[in-house]
Chains A and B, each alone.
Chain A
Amino acid sequence: MVSPAPTLEEIYARHARAVWAYARAHAPRPDLAEDLAAEAFLVLARRLREAGPPESPLGYLLATVRSRAIDETRRRRPGPLPEGLSSPAPGDAGRRERVFAAVRALDPDLAEAVALRSLAGLTWEEAVRESGVPRSTLEGRYAAALEKLTQILKDERP
């Protein structure tokens, strides 16, 4: 028996955090991450209406975030950070902001490995499919990314 296609509500409930974390790893500011995440779900909603669900809804969402982030980067000039974001607040929110900022500070290939594996929560197989690079390469990048993050976040308490 074929299971019914997931609704947008179900997909949102299942993947919103992963998409959000992935968007935060790509967007220099939270408001831009909001744009990316919302846009990804809206594009998926159109896809659901017109052509049914993609094979991997999460993969589709992450690919949309990635492509829109590249478009944004090309379109926008880097501007000054909004008030209060240059020195994030203490506590959980501030720590997470520093973690996302550290990921963004990595080389793009390393950042992508961490974003797919740790932030979006993909398995290695899924991450390989999304990144399009061999698993060994991806694992190497991931390990290198952790090394770099260790240095960047050396003062952070886990």
Chain B
Amino acid sequence: MTNDDIERLLADAATEDPPARVRERVFRRRPMWIAAAAVLFFAATLWLVLRDTHTRRIGGMRWVERPAFGRIEARDVLVVDGDILVAGDHWWQAPGGPVRARHESADPLRSASLVLTAPDVSALRKGLEAAVAQPRADVRVAALRALGRIYETWAVELALPFAKDPDPRVRRAARESMRATVASPHDCDTHDYAAWWNELDGEQRRGLFELQWTEALQKGTAGRCACGR
């Protein structure tokens, strides 16, 4: 066997074609459904992120819809699914202190459909006033439900015009909100509903009367106020 023979053997070996599998692997097209699934996954992720971080400002109040990431500030008032929660040392300290004390969920923000935050009461009021004036019904409903946990006369006054709203969801939210306030036990200087009643004008009183809440309003002198005083 000479070197020429070896070179011939090598040249012959170099003529071998790669198996068809190599070509198939190189030029394999990814099925369309993989691309579609990738696009869908990306869109879903984007939607989740945008949904969770979508923050608007209404009347100076931070309005966070379906937050997945807590952004609670120390003195924020939070309204979670119409239930008011207070973070930090605020004028409505939730029993037990922290926000989670009033929610069974480990993280109320995870299950919340709505979180309102406001640095103080006046900002909360301003924000809710702006919120109930929003054209979006879901925003108005959420704001009205939040008003039902304020236990302030201004909250009932704010909800009252919506008790006859043509939208049944808004109407129901307003009525439940007002009922929650006037039916709450109160014996508190801060929340003097009797004095407030006296300040109402005729139309407002009529509105409450029609809703059959006057009795609850007038009887509401026993027990403790929801604010804890």
Q: Which residues of chain A have a CB within 8 Å of any CB of chain B?
A: 8-9, 12, 16-21, 24, 30, 34, 37-38, 41-42, 45, 92, 95-96, 99-100, 103, 114, 118-121, 143, 146-147, 149-150, 153-154, 156, 158
Distance from B10 Cβ to chain A, minimum over Cβ atoms (Å): 4
Complex CA gap A80/B2 in Å reads 33
- Residue picked from A18, A103, A150, most chain B C-beta under 10 Å: A150
Once A and B bind, how many residue pairs between them come within 8 Å at the CB atom?
90
B1→A37 contact, CB < 8 A: no
Q: Report the nearest B residue to A37, measured CB to CB.
A: B22
B25→A42 contact, CB < 8 A: yes
A121→B1 contact, CB < 8 A: no
Q: Contacts A16-B18, A19-B18 given: A156-B3 contact, CB under 8 Å? A: no
A96→B16 contact, CB < 8 A: yes
Q: Contacts A17-B14, A119-B13, A156-B1 given: A150-B6 contact, CB under 8 Å? A: yes
Q: Contacts A8-B26, A34-B22 given: A156-B9 contact, CB under 8 Å? A: yes
Q: Report the nearest A residue to B2, measured CB to CB.
A: A150
Interface presence of B7 (CB below 8 A): yes
When distances are taken between beta carbons in the complex, the residues of chain A under 8 Å from B135 are none
Interface presence of B19 (CB below 8 A): yes
When distances are taken between beta carbons in the complex, the residues of chain A under 8 Å from B25 are 34, 38, 42
Q: Contacts A17-B15, A17-B17, A34-B18 given: A99-B10 contact, CB under 8 Å? A: yes
B10's partner among A17, A41, A118 (CB-CB below 8 A) is A118
A158's partner among B8, B16, B26 (CB-CB below 8 A) is B8
When distances are taken between beta carbons in the complex, the residues of chain A under 8 Å from B3 are 143, 146-147, 150
Complex CA gap A45/B7 in Å reads 32
Complex CA gap A19/B93 in Å reads 74
B7→A42 contact, CB < 8 A: no
When distances are taken between beta carbons in the complex, the residues of chain A under 8 Å from B9 are 95, 99, 149, 153, 156, 158
9 residue pairs of the A-B complex, CB under 8 angstroms, read A9-B27, A12-B26, A16-B18, A21-B16, A34-B18, A38-B22, A42-B26, A158-B1, A158-B8
Distance from B47 Cβ to chain A, minimum over Cβ atoms (Å): 29
B26→A119 contact, CB < 8 A: no
When distances are taken between beta carbons in the complex, the residues of chain B under 8 Å from A119 are 10, 13-14
- Residue picked from B3, B10, B16, most chain A C-beta under 10 Å: B10
Distance from B129 Cβ to chain A, minimum over Cβ atoms (Å): 56
B13→A100 contact, CB < 8 A: yes
A16→B22 contact, CB < 8 A: yes
B13's partner among A12, A42, A99, A143 (CB-CB below 8 A) is A99
Complex CA gap A47/B190 in Å reads 73
Distance from A24 Cβ to chain B, minimum over Cβ atoms (Å): 8
A96→B18 contact, CB < 8 A: no
When distances are taken between beta carbons in the complex, the residues of chain A under 8 Å from B17 are 16-17, 20
Interface presence of B199 (CB below 8 A): no
When distances are taken between beta carbons in the complex, the residues of chain A under 8 Å from B8 are 158
Distance from B41 Cβ to chain A, minimum over Cβ atoms (Å): 22
Per the 8 Å Cβ criterion, residues 1-43 of B in contact with A are 1-3, 5-19, 21-23, 25-27
Distance from A4 Cβ to chain B, minimum over Cβ atoms (Å): 19
Q: Contacts A8-B26, A45-B26, A150-B1 given: A17-B18 contact, CB under 8 Å? A: yes
B18→A149 contact, CB < 8 A: no
